[in-house]
Amino acid sequence: MQAYCVKCRAKREMKNPRPIRMKNGKPATQGVCPSCGTKMFRIGKA
């Protein structure tokens, strides 16, 4: 799954994506940027 990395300022393929629930109950996906190691986040179903 692709997500935007804020540090690299580019869309990258997410490493170790895992589904999570936000505080408001909506689904999201959280992972790690493969090049810089920053947390990546994408709202919506995986």
- What's residue 45's pLDDT? 81
What are 1-46's pLDDT values in tens digits?
999 999 999 999 999 999 999 999 999 999 999 999 999 999 998 6
- What's residue 6's pLDDT? 94
- What's residue 4's pLDDT? 95
Exposure string of 10-21, with b = 16+ CB inside 10 Å and e = fewer, is eebebeebeeee
- Using CA of residue 16, residue 34, residue 22, residue 27, what is the dihedral sign? negative
Q: What is the pTM of this model?
A: 0.82
Q: Which residue has the tokens 């994506």?
A: 17
